[in-house]
Amino acid sequence: MGLEKRIRSIIGLFFLLHGFLMISCKQSKKYHDTEVQSINIVGEGVFNTQAERDSILKSVLDFQEELNASFKDPEESPLVDKDKMNFESLDYFLPNADYVIRAKLIRTPNALPFGMPTTTDRISQERVYGRLQFNLKGKPFSLEVYQSLDLLEKEGYEDYLFLPFTDLTNGNETYGGGRYLDLRTVQGDSIWIDFNKSYNPYCAYNKKYSCPVVPSQNHLEIDVQAGVKAFIK
């Protein structure tokens, strides 16, 4: 998971002086600016048993632990030097089963490649893999999910999918430029989305990174209070 995020955020990072654009748990975690020692999942979603809810909680906490570890690693961390010094944990919303949803996948096999703008001059070559249709908090939504032409060439990432989105928390509780989700291709016509695993692009922490800009059609007119929160320096 950590490598997927780094590849997505740093493809095309550059050495400024040479014109080469290629700079591309702890037991307690921070929730709502308060450190808590014991975490319970909130919400129920479509899960009826405690075992299912416990499984979701473990998966989310594992994701958070791995993400925190990558930010602590001086070789992997996207943080600028001054922020690395005192880093302990990213801020997260409480794990919430209501944000784990099953979406209908409508594939678009004839979609042509296109250039997705980034936060730099780089253009990310993508194609629309399909559309995801789902209900969230009783409202219907649809998001485009993308497949990177660059990642298709990398061994182990042939089935990687990129789901960027914006929502009504952006600029307040979460990063203003939206957040990302990593998915994998599936055989059937549905796919699970866990918004608890949504994360910030690296350019939220360091402006030297080149990050795809979330397409306007991938805006959710709802508060997605799940996943990584805004980074407070």
Residue at 135 is within a domain: yes
Q: pLDDT (tens digit, 9 = 90+) per residue, 86-136?
A: 999 999 999 999 999 999 999 999 999 999 999 999 999 999 999 999 999
- Whole-model pTM above 0.85? no
Location of structure tokens 């219907």: 140
The two three-digit tokens of residue 178, written as one number: 């939206």
Backbone φ and ψ for 199, nearest 5 degrees, come out as -135, 165
H or E element in which residue 58 lies: helix 50-72
**For range 74-80, the mean pLDDT:** 95
H or E element in which residue 10 lies: helix 2-10
Residue at 31 is within a domain: yes
**For range 199-208, the mean pLDDT:** 97
Q: How many domains does the chain have?
A: 1
Structural domain of 73: 2-218
Give the span between the Cα atoms of 6 and 58, in whole angstroms.
23
Residue at 98 is within a domain: yes
Q: Can you tell me whether residue 1 is helix, strand or coil?
A: coil
**HSE of 118, CA atoms in CB hemisphere, 13 A:** 25
Dihedral Cα 121, 126, 131, 136, nearest 10 deg: -40
Residue at 226 is within a domain: no
In terms of DSSP H, where are the helices of 73-144?
81-84
Give the span between the Cα atoms of 16 and 133, in whole angstroms.
41
Question: What pLDDT does residue 36 have?
Answer: 39
Residue at 155 is within a domain: yes
Residue at 214 is within a domain: yes
- Whether the predicted pLDDT of 66 surpasses 60: yes
Residue at 114 is within a domain: yes
Residue at 144 is within a domain: yes
Contact 131, 108 (CB under 8 A): yes
